């Protein structure tokens, strides 16, 4: 989920030292997702921002918890970030911690930092990562949508900045030939709506043993299943029995 709605922030303090934290930011209605993450990791603090224009909530994990709990957990289990931006942030954070860098000006050239992990080189390589399917659940919670079009087509969609091989891997997971769209030259968009493709989406999220969707995205998924159940085109699909 951090590859979608999160970031590792590394900034200079007023005294020239390094401040580091991991932040997951969501709309305030989805605070239950942050509460779930907090209950699992037992680290970080949830902050609520009730701005009238854009109310939000954030889970903020400080440097100490990153250094002692979160990062060692990821490294021990060989789990890593799969988007370029988050990978670069992670590499920088690990470099700072391993070299015990205290002052911001000592960080040096960020382009020459060693990689903690190497990103897969092909779409198939992504799918072969042991954690990829559960990573995809988290990514869907951040960047996915389940909805019905005006023509009653049921749609599942994923959209983020261009990551060609990563989005081609989604096609392999869902076993579809649908073309990945490039929107405004900046974003990849994966979307399916055919009966066969929608069934494979349901099979993945409901019957493959991956971690369930939680929070608002879990509710959206359940509501989508209900709409499919009452839709003449999709009503005969194999749907999970328990739907809210």
Last residue of a domain, one of 96, 116, 136: 116
Q: Per DSSP, what are the bridge partners of residue 158?
A: 144, 190
CATH of the domain at 97: 3.10.28.10
- Pure H helices in the chain: 2-5, 31-41, 63-65, 71-76, 84-98, 123-127, 132-143, 164-173, 195-207, 215-229
Q: Of all residues in the chain, what percent carry a pLDDT higher than 90?
A: 89
**pLDDT digit string (tens) for 143-166?**
999 999 999 999 999 999 999 999
Question: Predicted confidence band at 243 (pLDDT cuts at 50, 70, 90)?
Answer: low
Say if residues 20 and 63 touch (Cβ distance below 8 Å): yes
Judge whether 244 lies within some domain. Answer: no
83 and 139 share a domain? no
168 and 201 share a domain? yes
105 and 132 share a domain? no
**pLDDT digit string (tens) for 190-205?**
999 999 999 999 999 9
Sign of CA dihedral 5, 8, 10, 13: positive
Cα distance between residue 105 and residue 92, in whole Å: 13
134 and 221 share a domain? yes
Q: Which residues constitute the domain of residue 82?
A: 2-116
Last residue of a domain, one of 116, 147, 176: 116
């Amino acid at each position: 989920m951090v590859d979608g709605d999160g970031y590792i922030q590394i900034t200079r303090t007023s005294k020239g030292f390094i401040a580091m934290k991991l932040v997951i930011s969501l709309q305030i209605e989805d605070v239950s997702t942050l509460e779930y993450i907090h209950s699992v990791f037992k680290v970080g603090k949830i902050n609520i921002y009730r701005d009238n224009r854009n109310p939000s909530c954030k889970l903020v994990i400080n440097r100490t918890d990153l250094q002692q709990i979160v990062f060692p957990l990821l490294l021990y289990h060989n789990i890593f970030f799969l988007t370029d931006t988050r990978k670069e942030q992670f590499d920088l954070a690990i470099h700072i911690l391993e070299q015990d860098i205290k002052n911001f000006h000592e960080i040096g050239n960020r382009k020459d930092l060693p990689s903690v992990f190497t990103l897969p080189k092909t779409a198939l390589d992504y799918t072969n990562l042991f954690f990829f399917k559960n990573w995809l659940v988290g990514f869907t919670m951040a960047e996915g949508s389940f909805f019905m079009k005006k023509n009653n087509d049921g749609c599942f969609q994923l959209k983020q900045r261009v990551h060609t091989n990563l989005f081609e891997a989604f096609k392999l997971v869902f076993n579809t030939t649908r073309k990945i769209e490039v929107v405004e030259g900046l974003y990849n968009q994966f979307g399916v709506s055919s009966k066969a493709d929608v069934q494979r989406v349901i099979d993945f999220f409901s019957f493959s043993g991956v971690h369930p969707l939680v929070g608002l995205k879990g509710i959206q998924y359940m509501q989508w299943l209900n709409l499919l159940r009452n839709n003449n085109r999709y009503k005969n699909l194999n749907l999970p029995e328990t739907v809210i």
